[in-house]
A and B are shown apart, each in its own frame.
Chain A
Amino acid sequence: MSAADGGGTTTLVVRVENKAGVLARVAGLFARRGFNIESLAVAPTDDERFSRLTIVVGVDAAPMEQVVKQLDKLVNVVDIRELNPSASVERELMMVTVRANPEIRGQILDLVRIFQATVLNVGYDEIMVSLTGSPSRVDDFEDLLLPYGIVDVQRTGKVALPKLVKAAPDPLAP
């Protein structure tokens, strides 16, 4: 099972100061401890002083604790959340250009409809589409497009937020 399937991966959401070189510090720390980063998404936050890194790593639990603690020691790292896949909502964006001569374009559009993907651009014998979804759904879509011939594919790496509380608050609580 690959890490992209969610097998033995952990997602770390790391809030860092938005300063030059911070990404190198974080990436360097993973490299020094022998961890391979499966995917990494970097984005600004609502507070312009900070950025958010969503890092997917394939790991065992024990050394992960060490990496989190070492990460936390970086002066520019503000806080770290470890997101368990079952307790979080995960999304990933894929853009893909597929070979699609006019005769088979319809088949691809079927898939686009089924997956509620979006057509971004159409050429004579190629089509560019995008899909946002859970990483496994994006995997499925990519697998189904594969036989048609993928010309180019770009995935963002996943981003995630924790799932929300479902139970209503106790009406009798003060």
Chain B
Amino acid sequence: MNMNGGQALMKALENEGVDILFGLPGGAILPVYDPLIDSSIRHVLVRHEQGAGHMAEGYAHATGRPGVAMVTSGPAATNIVTPLCDAYMDSIPMVVVTGQVPYAAIGTDAFQECDTTGITMSVTKHNYLVTEAADIPQVIHDAFYIATTGRPGPVLVDIPKDIVDPNNPRSAMEWYTPDSHDLPGYLPNQAGDAELIRQAAKLICEAERPVLYTGGGILKSRGAEALLELAEMTGIHVVTTLMNRGGFPDDHPLCLGMPGMHGNYTAVTAMQEADLLIALGARFDDRVTGKVGEFAPLANIIHVDIDSAELGKVRRPDVAIQGDCRVVIEELVKALKEMGGSEAQPDRNQWRSRISGWQERFPLTYEQSKGDELLKPQYVLEQLRDSTPSDTIVASGVGQHQMWTSQYWKFNHPYTWVNSGGLGTMGFAIPAAIGAKAGRPDRMVWAVDGDGCFQMTAQELVTAATEGFPIKVALINNAYLGMVRQWQEMFYEERYSEVYLTRDVPDYKMWAEALGCVGLRVESPEEVGPAIAQANEIDDQPVVVEFRCEAEENVFPMVPAGMSNSDVVVDPSQRDQPR
């Protein structure tokens, strides 16, 4: 079939199962926006290309399918660098198509030319500059394959205008449907080594104080069920990192919650005291380990990861297994069963009672607001958690509100937590929530956002309003870049430098209304529940609920940066408790 490169691009995307595309047109990508009109793919017109990228990420978080964004060259390509880096850090499958100046003009400083593949080389899993129209079907096929297999990640495809422009003879091509990949340097491996899995099973059967340290690889490999089986069979407690919230149910008696800088005391301490850490799809990030040299000093390490470069990168494992988390866990469960299953697990009652002791002495806690104090953000999050369906998808920005959301929400279903972990990108919440809603229109989607974050990407609420994505935003207005304020309070002797945002400017309610949303404002605890109920009722428009919160509230527990996890600082009310 004869066609032009632009038509081939749309057809190739359709063939990959793409149902929705987040983007914004411009000169270099213009020719592709014409065949888009005739395509089955829905296009969502964003207000800023960063929004398109985060929407694609949110879509991928919520569905497991690759998110796709399409933008033009130059400034549009640079606008989408942040989401690419975000997706790279958090291993999110995503394909981004960028327009480029005509092939012959590359390197001439043409209008809106930038070296997109050069700029994005270090923040993509792979990228392509396509030079011939005939390469488009194969490159798109390869791009999706690379984005979604092995350790997932973003792939960028840069397309010069002339090869998609029907008025240019260079765009003429004959369609073909690629059915294979010629990628001799890319051979992702799923299965773990059987002998190493047996060694791991043996270590597990010998451990007195084991902890399952589970990361984003659980969700990426769709391994939540396998993890549940492993935990229940062995009776081993589970910590879920920021990237694996929802990968193991918070309500489960074996769940210890989030570890790390703002993790639960028990999750942090159990890892410190463990004699075996079973790291599954986790990468010993500095926010989890604290001072690496003093992290889990007594523990043997079993480390399972699809990416062999993670094995030994931070902490040398005793058993290193390269493979897909789900596949390896399933094999591990089999090996453990052969050794006697739950019968073969040693008596760990002492360990269990130490854990429950920590849980009793150091639960998450905060002081309710008194008198005319403003709201406590923790209270808002508890209310929100308790008055929304349990499968609600929650997206968050970056800052204190993000940590409180991860701490206070009860994640009982996989793929309900959408957040920016590795890069910590302020402004992630709103566009990511839109992407999640696009992927899961059947679910209620709340974004929990900070006042600082909100001001970075609020314009995408226009996209939500006009394109019909009735997301809800819980805006934690604490008048500050709160997380930075907290650091200045704790580590810079309360010398506050450029962290005050103001309480009343902008007027968030009016702004929300101007953006096409319903705007609500809540100041007292009694109003919180009714406002959430009101927001939950609205399904034909996005809603922004501004919660006016105390400015001085801090996130605890906290392991100060660079300190040992053994020095975790607990809530002021718990500081007299024996450790």
When A24-B118, A32-B122, A75-B146 are in contact, do A65 and B183 touch as well, CB less than 8 Å?
A: no
Chain A hits for B129, CB < 8 A? 20-21
Chain B hits for A16, CB < 8 A? 185
In the complex formed, the residue of B with least CB distance to A21 is B117
| 0 or 1 for each of A85-118: is its CB under 8 Å from B? (1 = yes) | 0000000000000000000000000000000000
* Interface-facing stretch out of B71-79, B252-260, B307-315, B479-487: B307-315
In the complex formed, the residue of A with least CB distance to B187 is A78
Q: Which residues from 154 to 204 on chain B have a C-beta closer than 8 Å to any C-beta of chain A?
A: 183-186
* Interface-facing stretch out of A66-74, A125-133, A153-161: A66-74
| Residue in B118, B129, B146, B185 whose Cβ sees the most chain A Cβ within 10 Å | B185
How many Å lie between the Cα of A167 and that of B183 in the bound state?
37
Q: Which residues from 117 to 174 on chain B have a C-beta closer than 8 Å to any C-beta of chain A?
A: 117-118, 121-122, 125-126, 129, 146
Q: Are A66 and B313 in contact (CB under 8 A)?
A: yes
Chain B hits for A69, CB < 8 A? 308-309
How many Å lie between the Cα of A79 and that of B307 in the bound state?
16
When A74-B185, A77-B185 are in contact, do A24 and B313 touch as well, CB less than 8 Å?
A: no
How many Å lie between the Cα of A16 and that of B186 in the bound state?
11
How many Å lie between the Cα of A25 and that of B118 in the bound state?
9
In the complex formed, the residue of A with least CB distance to B155 is A75
Total interface residues on B, CB under 8 Å, equals 17
| A84 contacts the other chain (CB 8 A) | no
When A21-B129, A24-B118 are in contact, do A75 and B183 touch as well, CB less than 8 Å?
A: yes
In the complex formed, the residue of B with least CB distance to A17 is B185
When A20-B129, A65-B312, A66-B309 are in contact, do A78 and B185 touch as well, CB less than 8 Å?
A: yes
How many Å lie between the Cα of A79 and that of B186 in the bound state?
10
CB distance from A65 to the nearest CB of B (A): 7
| 0 or 1 for each of B109-122: is its CB under 8 Å from A? (1 = yes) | 00000000110011
Q: Are A75 and B185 in contact (CB under 8 A)?
A: yes
| Residue in B122, B183, B309, B313 whose Cβ sees the most chain A Cβ within 10 Å | B309
How many Å lie between the Cα of A20 and that of B115 in the bound state?
14
How many Å lie between the Cα of A69 and that of B313 in the bound state?
10
How many Å lie between the Cα of A50 and that of B118 in the bound state?
22
Measured as residues with beta carbon below 8 angstroms from the partner, the interface class of chain A is 20 to 34
Q: Are A76 and B185 in contact (CB under 8 A)?
A: yes
Q: Are A70 and B186 in contact (CB under 8 A)?
A: no
CB distance from A129 to the nearest CB of B (A): 39
Q: Which residues from 9 to 63 on chain A have a C-beta closer than 8 Å to any C-beta of chain B?
A: 16-17, 20-21, 24-25, 28, 32, 49-50
Chain B hits for A76, CB < 8 A? 185
How many Å lie between the Cα of A90 and that of B309 in the bound state?
29
Chain B hits for A70, CB < 8 A? 309
Chain A hits for B121, CB < 8 A? 24-25, 28
Q: Are B118 and A75 in contact (CB under 8 A)?
A: no
How many Å lie between the Cα of A72 and that of B126 in the bound state?
13
| 0 or 1 for each of B81-121: is its CB under 8 Å from A? (1 = yes) | 00000000000000000000000000000000000011001
Q: Are A75 and B309 in contact (CB under 8 A)?
A: no
CB distance from B93 to the nearest CB of A (A): 15
CB distance from B70 to the nearest CB of A (A): 22
| Residue in A49, A50, A70, A73 whose Cβ sees the most chain B Cβ within 10 Å | A73
How many Å lie between the Cα of A25 and that of B126 in the bound state?
10
In the complex formed, the residue of A with least CB distance to B150 is A73
| 0 or 1 for each of B283-327: is its CB under 8 Å from A? (1 = yes) | 000000000000000000000000111001100000000000000
Give 18 A-B contacts (CB < 8 Å), ordered by A residue: A17-B185, A20-B129, A24-B118, A28-B122, A50-B184, A65-B312, A66-B309, A69-B309, A72-B308, A72-B309, A73-B309, A74-B126, A74-B185, A75-B125, A75-B183, A77-B185, A78-B184, A78-B185
Instruction: Mark A residues whose CB is within 8 Å of B.
Output: 16-17, 20-21, 24-25, 28, 32, 49-50, 65-66, 69-70, 72-79
Instruction: Mark B residues whose CB is within 8 Å of A.
Output: 117-118, 121-122, 125-126, 129, 146, 183-186, 307-309, 312-313
Give the 6 A-B residue pairs with the shortest CB-CB distance, closest first: A69-B309, A78-B185, A75-B126, A75-B186, A77-B185, A78-B184
